[in-house]
Amino acid sequence: MTECKEHIRLAVKNLSVEIRTGGKDCKVLNQISFTAKPGEIIGLVGESGCGKSMTSLAIMGLLPSGACVSEGEIQMEGKDLLSLSEAELCSVRGGEVAMIFQEPMSALNPLIPVGKQIEECYRLHHKAVSAIQTREITLDMMRTVGLSRVESLYHEFPHQLSGGMKQRIVIAMALINRPRLIIADEPTTALDVTIQAQILELLKKMNVEYGCTVLFISHDLGVIRTVCDQIVVMYAGRIVEQGKTEEVLKTPGHPYTRGLLSSIAGAKNKGEELYSIPGYVEPLEKREENRCPFVKRCERAQEVCHITCPDMKEIQGRKVRCFYEGDGRSE
């Protein structure tokens, strides 16, 4: 087990999740596999509805009612998270694994002073530490995430803080137990662009200082590419491309990745109108397993793409789910 700890912190293997909608079971995640090493930032990207949040909720053991893991494994440092009891999961959550959500208000209790909320997270996992020391550790953590005048801020309520400050409080809550994995689900999407940049900077700094692995989720490839070592591109519940960030960006193999890349503001075609991929992500009940998930929006789609779902192909250290990757057609 110690060997696993050295090399792989999080391993998701062939994970499928089913959910019951409209009277039938639909695959909301279809054989998702990726691994993250200690200290690595791995980015999960895809448009809304692709299954990013479901992936993070499955890891945390927090799937909504009606959804269940139908196959696969989730291992944290070699430990099988899917076989843990609810009590064991509670100790993993907020301890070894912490989560930062998109909307800070959903993670904060409006009726409790913000400092107290950070302190409670710590106390839950460190019951033997004295009250004075717990307070000191809390104030220190507030400084670490870039908050000032922390003694008075401790007593303030969430509504008295700006969006960026609230997200810093949420990050402090996530970090205070020194988790080895942080799942950040669209942590900057609700913030202004300048605050967004500051929070990304903070997350990167924390990742370096604490050596924690980060699973960073965003619909925005522009954000993902500035923070992540590895990119996992999801489309309609499946992974369509994964690899090292610079390689995926330099030579995106999947038409969907190329579409996402073209739609980033400030991408190559400056001056031209911002590109957006025509069409939309199909709702769960319309998805079919025996075809490429992207077929309806792909300008390169051929006969075979309508009748068979391509496997992931390994090409130059990257994996791409497309029949036509590597056929010499690169634009």
Ligand X SMILES: Nc1ncnc2c1ncn2[C@@H]1O[C@H](COP(=O)(O)OP(=O)(O)O)[C@@H](O)[C@H]1O
Contacts with ligand X by CB under 6 A lie at 19, 21, 28, 46, 48-54, 64, 66, 283-284
CB of 53: closest distance to Mg ion in angstroms? 3
What does 21 bind: ligand X, Mg ion, none (CB cut-off 5 to 8 Å by kind)? ligand X
Q: Are 111 and 157 in contact (CB under 8 A)?
A: yes
Strand duo 67-76 + 10-21: pairing:
antiparallel
User: CA-to-CA distance for 115 and 136, rounded, in angstroms?
Assistant: 11
- In angstroms, what is the minimal distance from the CB of 201 to ligand X? 24
Q: Note whether 207 binds Mg ion by CB under 5 A.
A: no
Q: Single out the residue of 30, 53, 196, 242 in contact with Mg ion (rule: CB under 5 A).
A: 53
Q: How far is the C-alpha of 259 from the C-alpha of 274, rounded, in Å?
A: 11
Of these partners, ligand X, Mg ion, none, which one is at the site of residue 212 (CB under 5 to 8 Å by kind)?
none
Can you read off the two tokens belonging to residue 302? Answer: 């051929």
Q: Which range touches Mg ion (CB under 5 A), out of 44-52, 173-181, 202-210, 278-286?
A: 44-52
**At closest approach, how far in Å is the CB of 262 from Mg ion?**
22
Applying CB under 5 A, the site for Mg ion has a residue count of 2
**Cα-only R_g, the chain:** 21
The DSSP output letter for 82 is G
Span interacting with Mg ion, options 28-36, 47-55, 116-124, 295-303, rule CB under 5 A: 47-55
DSSP structure class, residue 158: G
Partner from Mg ion, ligand X, none binding residue 109, C-beta < 5-8 Å depending on class: none
What are residue 36's DSSP bridge partners? Answer: 10
Half-sphere exposure of 180 (CA within 13 A, CB side): 13
| Amino acid, res. 227 | V
Residues that bind Mg ion (CB under 5 A): 52-53
